[in-house]
């Protein structure tokens, strides 16, 4: 037994040594602007890498500055990101600080002045795409549309007013289908899987907007879309990839269920496009006024003749995935806050009934639902799906007005969640006040139920970005898909409020799930629904 125990100990020590060596060989934290792989080690570039590491030593550090021991801080940041961000924010409130992640150092911006300066950075100075596509799972943002084809987002935003009737119809059909309507069920409360319900409705709405009706009714495609929306909870597999060499990590991702699901969805989209082109002749150039009003049609209308069906399918899938994940998480968070705070339902119901009776369901009437808008904004303030915002990679040295210089290759982000919970910015920031922002509007612009009075209320609305509200990012690279997301989220919440009472059985909101920097609603929570 002693011999076996000795062998076991030796194996354990060997594995630990191997893991430590693996970190040394693959980490980018030692050198911000190059991948520190085995080949660089062999070519004696480690000295250069460590020299570049010194470029960050002037930036305050949360935790240890020791290269090897900083992996303990990286583990803390992965598992306890909100708490670590809050600690760094309180310690370095007016400046910047850095934290260790698995593969690099991340610089966090905390102060208003620094955020205002950084939002003006040009695309020559910072790159958002590089940050979004980086290999570090702890920096992965859910549901921001920057990586989606900008032409698709532009078309989506331009056509929002025309899409509202389809969105409303799909929400009505999906909710009526998901929630039983029998006379027996309508007499009492029904316990439903909240995440599944929201994902089911969201995917049908998004698919309707993208493809029109046919693919929306395909149950196999809908189910895979729902599963894909829940892939964001794959904490273990996602973070495992950060511990592996780049080539092995890429292979692991390629063989993952999420990636296989993506390939199947893309194949189904290609098949749908091919069949649709044969039967209805999707336009390949602009000028066809008779074409359907959906994203797929715009994609072909705006595409060049050299754009392949596969490329269009990939762009469409990127949009679908991003929209499904972001909207599902945002609505679920809002429903959880509503079920835990049902006192806000009656005033929102009154507002919605008043506006819809006069204006109907359209883009303008949604803009006038200030209480609904405020409730969603407060939900995102307290339960934003990402604890950081404005994540970017420095392309050329960036210097703040106080002289703090950020070297080329550094990853940088704003500490969004701590700012949203800052008592110097928001009164009683830890208390959920669904009408926090509508009261600000009412105080400054008068009765928030007056249609037509909302144009002046933009500073307090959900889609507005400021240095104090960073849910959508801020500045040049604010999330371009926020206008579409806001329409869907507000319409679904307003419809639920009009037709259902919702609550938790124990009246308590379930704790959120932390996955890296992402702050997600409990995927297993149940909500009680009752038809009105």
Task: Give bridge partners of residue 100 from the DSSP assignment.
Answer: 105
The DSSP bridge pattern shows strands 405-406 and 398-399 to be antiparallel
Phi, then psi, of 67 in degrees rounded to 5: -60, -50
Considering Cα of 136, then 139, then 142, then 147, what sign does the dihedral take? negative
Cα→Cα distances 83→100, 379, 396, 400, Å: 14, 19, 31, 26
Beta strands in 35-122 (DSSP E): 96-100, 105-109
Annotated binding-site positions for heme: 479
User: By C-alpha distance, which of 197, 211, 203, 199 is closest to 163?
Assistant: 211
Residues with Cβ within 8 Å of residue 170, at least 6 apart in sequence? 201, 204, 205, 208, 216
Count, residues in the chain: 532
Q: Give one DSSP letter per residue of 111-180, joined into a string.
A: SHHHHHHHHT--TTTEEHHHHHT-S-GGGPPSS-GGGS-HHHHHHHHHTHHHHHHHHHHHHHHHHHHHS-
Gyration radius from the chain CA atoms:
24
Integer Cα distance of 377 and 478 in angstroms: 16
User: By C-alpha distance, which of 111, 120, 193, 168 is closest to 529?
Assistant: 193
Count other C-beta atoms under 10 Å from residue 44's C-beta: 8
User: By C-alpha distance, which of 225, 253, 239 is closest to 325?
Assistant: 225
Annotated binding-site positions: 479
Structural tokens at position 48? 């250069």
3-state secondary structure of 520: strand
Integer Cα distance of 32 and 103 in angstroms: 10
Integer Cα distance of 475 and 465 in angstroms: 8
Residues with Cβ within 8 Å of residue 160, at least 6 apart in sequence? 363, 483, 484, 487
Helices (H), 341-471: 345-359, 363-367, 370-382, 416-420, 436-445
Integer Cα distance of 532 and 500 in angstroms: 5
Integer Cα distance of 88 and 85 in angstroms: 5
């Amino acid at each position: 037994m002693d011999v076996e125990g000795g062998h076991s100990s030796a194996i354990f020590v060997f594995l630990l040594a191997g893991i430590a060596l693996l970190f040394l060989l693959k980490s980018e934290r030692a050198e911000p602007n190059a991948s520190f792989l085995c080949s660089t080690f062999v070519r004696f570039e480690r000295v250069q890498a460590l020299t570049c590491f010194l470029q960050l030593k002037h930036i305050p550090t949360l935790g240890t500055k020791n290269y090897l021991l900083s992996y303990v801080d990286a583990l803390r940041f992965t598992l306890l990101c909100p708490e670590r961000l809050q600690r760094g924010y309180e310690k370095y409130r007016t400046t910047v600080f850095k934290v260790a992640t698995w593969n690099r150092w991340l610089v966090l911006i905390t102060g208003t002045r620094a955020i205002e300066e950084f939002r003006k950075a040009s695309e020559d100075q910072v790159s958002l795409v590089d940050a979004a596509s980086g290999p570090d799972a702890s920096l992965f943002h859910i549901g921001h549309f920057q990586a989606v084809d900008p032409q698709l987002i532009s078309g989506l935003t331009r056509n929002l007013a025309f899409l509202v009737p389809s969105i409303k119809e799909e929400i009505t059909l999906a909710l009526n289908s998901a929630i039983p309507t029998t006379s027996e069920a309508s007499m009492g409360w029904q316990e439903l899987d909240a995440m599944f319900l929201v994902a089911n409705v969201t995917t049908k709405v998004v698919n309707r907007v993208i493809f029109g009706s046919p693919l929306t009714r395909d149950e196999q495609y809908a189910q895979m879309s729902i599963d894909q929306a829940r892939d964001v909870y794959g904490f273990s597999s996602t973070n495992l990839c950060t511990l592996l060499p780049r080539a092995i990590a890429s292979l692991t991702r390629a063989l993952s269920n999420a990636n296989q699901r993506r390939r199947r969805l893309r194949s189904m989209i290609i098949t749908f496009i091919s069949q649709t082109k044969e039967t209805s002749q999707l336009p390949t150039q602009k000028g066809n006024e008779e074409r359907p009003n959906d994203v797929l049609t715009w994609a072909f209308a705006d595409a060049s003749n050299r754009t392949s069906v596969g490329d269009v399918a990939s762009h469409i899938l990127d949009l679908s995935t991003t929209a499904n994940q972001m909207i599902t998480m945002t609505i679920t968070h809002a429903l959880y806050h509503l079920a835990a705070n049902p006192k806000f339902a009656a005033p929102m119901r009154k507002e919605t009934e008043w506006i819809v009776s006069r204006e109907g369901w359209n883009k303008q009437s949604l803009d006038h639902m200030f209480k609904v808008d405020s409730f969603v904004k407060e939900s995102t303030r307290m339960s934003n799906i990402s604890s950081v915002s404005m994540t970017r990679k420095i392309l050329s040295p960036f210097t703040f007005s106080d002289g703090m210089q950020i070297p080329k290759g550094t990853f940088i982000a704003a500490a969004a969640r701590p700012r949203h919970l800052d008592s110097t910015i928001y009164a009683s920031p830890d208390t959920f006040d669904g009408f926090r922002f509508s009261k600000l509007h009412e105080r400054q612009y008068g009765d928030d139920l007056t249609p037509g009075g909302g144009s002046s209320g933009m500073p307090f609305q959900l889609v507005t970005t400021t240095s104090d509200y960073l849910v959508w990012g801020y500045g040049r690279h604010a999330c371009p898909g926020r206008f579409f997301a806001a329409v869907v989220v507000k319409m679904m919440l307003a419809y639920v409020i009009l037709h259902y009472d919702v609550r938790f059985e124990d009246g308590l909101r379930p704790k959120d799930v932390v996955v890296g920097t992402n702050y997600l609603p409990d995927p297993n929570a149940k909500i009680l629904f009752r038809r009105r």
